Amino acid sequence: MRVLCVVSHPRKDSLTFKVADRFVQGLAEAGHEYEILDLHEMNFDPVLKGVDEPDWSAAEQPFSPEVEMEIRRMKEHDALAFIFPIWWWYLPAMLKGYIDRVWNNGFAYGSNQLHHQHVLWIGLAGVSKEQMKKRNYDEMMTHLLNVGIADYCGVANSKVEFLYETLDSDTSHYELLLNQAHQLGLNYAKK
């Protein structure tokens, strides 16, 4: 399976990128091919402008060259993974803008839907599992990503995984998180 791994973090030396590296290591060991898409490195513009605004009256519409390029990239992959820090109990603006602009009407929903077999969302949470559950942030994010986005766009096999307490600077805890990421790659798309 060919997996597009979209990473959203402004720093290459972040735990988010270390998690991405270990995740793709697991993917490779499981026999998958992958491409890492670093939204910050490519200077992706998350702002939805008029040319990329969904035209609900058209079955197909042309988009900006940047969005057309990303649509082509997505078409080259069988599955998706998103690796990101959780900021304000949600996706970072860069990643939200990527979905707003690229997962557009006529490509991801509407007259067409995504062809991808699986999507995995790996969210790095600075808080504990208990803190995420306290106000049902985990359930809200899971429902939004799995149902509101993935299922709406035709990807029934969507899963959210949270890596907790990412602000804990203890080396053994970081290694535990990196091992979790590696296992997610090894077991990607397994039931």
Which fold is adopted by the domain 2-186? Rossmann fold (3.40.50)
Contact 122, 26 (CB under 8 A): no
How far apart CA 116 and CA 107 sit, in angstroms, is: 12
For the chain, the first-to-last Cα distance in angstroms comes to 15
- Give residue 191's pLDDT: 62
pLDDT digits (tens, 9 = 90+) for 79-97: 999 999 999 999 999 999 9
**Chain mean position to CA 83:** 5
Q: Which residue ranges in the chain fall short of pLDDT 50?
A: none
Which letter does DSSP use for residue 151 in this model? Answer: G
Q: Identify the pLDDT of residue 56.
A: 87
- pLDDT value for 171: 83
pLDDT at 57: 85
CA 174 to CA 180: how far, in whole Å?
10
Q: Which long-range contacts (CB under 8 A, 24 or more apart) does 12-19 make?
A: 12/38, 12/41, 14/85, 15/124, 15/166, 15/174, 15/177, 16/83, 16/84, 16/85, 16/124, 18/174, 18/178, 19/83, 19/122, 19/124, 19/163, 19/177, 19/178, 19/181
Q: Is the dihedral of CA 73, 74, 80, 81 positive or negative?
A: positive
